[in-house]
Structures are given as structure tokens and as C-alpha cells.
Amino acid sequence: MRPQQKRLMQEVLPRCAILSEGPLDPLQIFPETRGLGVEIGFGGGEHLAAQAQLHPDWGFLGAEPFINGVAKLLAHISQQSLNNVRMLMGDGRSLLERLPDACADAVYILFPDPWPKARHFKRRIIQPETLDQIVRILKEQGELRVATDVPDYAVWTLMHAGKRRALRFAADRPRDWHERPVDWPPTRYELKARAAGRSCVYLRYLKFSHL
């Protein structure tokens, strides 16, 4: 671990890490916030930090298993003096399982590992069980955002999310999911994908329990 990363882990991580086990109460974590965003696999943390800066009246929870990604988010938190971000070092599915019903205004899954080989599809984060958890924790009219530069993963997401009756695809025309909304900050991976000439897809779903 680099000295800078070590300093961040020692000085910044203790005040923003989720260390407890069992159920999580967002109202205890963020008692004065008006909304909650949850990012599963935040990578380098640039999107989560940007959302936290854009919405200082929201609280943001993120999960990421890799130490380099955690250190990068800590750097954003330190540099931008963010007080509305908390993180779990681990699998994002465990974060979803620990959150109460109807607590989140938005859930983000951005450029997840596509696991391109068929025998590895079961490792993809977009699974029926994960989507059921997301539907459970989303508030009414809460939003799920998924981004990918892998066409097969976009089809996979459309197929599985389309089977959740409570999720309504928030697109009226193809252009809606080929253009990133203005309130959707880009990730480092997205910029690399575009520089390499790959197209990106931005899928948005809204929760309506009584469709």
C-alpha cells in the first residue's frame, strides 16, 4: 500500500466506514438528510463523490470490495470535504440485504464486471435475487440506474429487470438510453470506454408498486 493510501485508510476511513454488522438504519447514519443514494461497486468512487457533492442534502452509501477503489473514494472524500458518504468494504449484495424496506431514493450499478463467459453469468451482479432486493429497498418512484458498455450485458439487464413488475423502464425512445442524463456524472471507466470507441448504454428504471 502506498503511503498516501495508508494515510487515507488511517485518517479518513474510520469516520466513513460501515463497521457494524446486522441491519443498517439510514436514518441513524444520516439523521438530517432528505434522500438516500446507494452505489453497488463504486469503482474509483468518482461518481459517488460527484453525486454527494451535487446533493449535499442526501446521504450516500457505497460498497466496493477492492482496496484501491476504497482508497480512491477516500481521496475524493478528503479533497472535497464530503460528510455525507459512508462505505462498506465488501460485496454490495450484503449492503442491500442489510438495508430496510423503502429507504433508498436511488440505486446505482455502473459498469459492473460483465463476466462475459456463459459459465460465469451467475457471477454477474444483475441477478433476479439482487433486483428483488433493489426493488425492496427503493422508495416508491425511486430510481435504479445501470450503465454498461457491453451490449450483451445491456440485453441481460433489460431481460431481468423487465421481469420485475414494479420496475418501469424510464425511456420513451432509444436516444433516452444512449445519452447520459445531465445529472449522471461520468465514471472513469466510462471515459476510457468512450476513448476506446465503445458505446455506452444508460438504463433507468422507476419503482411503481401498483403497476
Residue 6 has pLDDT above 90, yes or no: no
- Residue count of the chain: 211
The catalytic position among 113, 132, 152, 183 is 113
Which pLDDT band, with edges at 50, 70 and 90, does 198 fall under?
A: very high
Q: What is the pLDDT of residues 110-149, one digit of tens each?
A: 999 998 899 999 999 999 999 999 999 999 999 999 999 9
Q: Determine the Cα–Cα distance for residues 138 and 105; give it in Å rounded to an integer.
A: 6
What 3 state SS string does the chain have?
CCHHHHHHHHHCHHHHECCCCCCCCHHHHCCCCCEEEEEECCCCCHHHHHHHHHCCCEEEEEECCCHHHHHHHHHHHHHHCCCCEEEECCCHHHHHHHCCCCCEEEEEEECCCCCCCHHHHHHCCCCHHHHHHHHHHEEEEEEEEEEECCHHHHHHHHHHHCCCCCEEECCCCHHHHCCCCCCCCCCHHHHHHHHCCCCCEEEEEEECCCC
What is the pTM (predicted TM-score) of this model? 0.94
> In terms of C-beta density within 10 A (0-12 exposed, 13-18 middle, 19 or more buried), how is residue 161 classed?
buried
Domain 3-207 belongs to what topology?
Rossmann fold (3.40.50)
Active site residue 152: no
Which pLDDT band, with edges at 50, 70 and 90, does 63 fall under?
A: very high
Q: Look up residue 119 and give its three cell numbers.
A: 459459465
Q: Determine the Cα–Cα distance for residues 134 and 53; give it in Å rounded to an integer.
A: 24
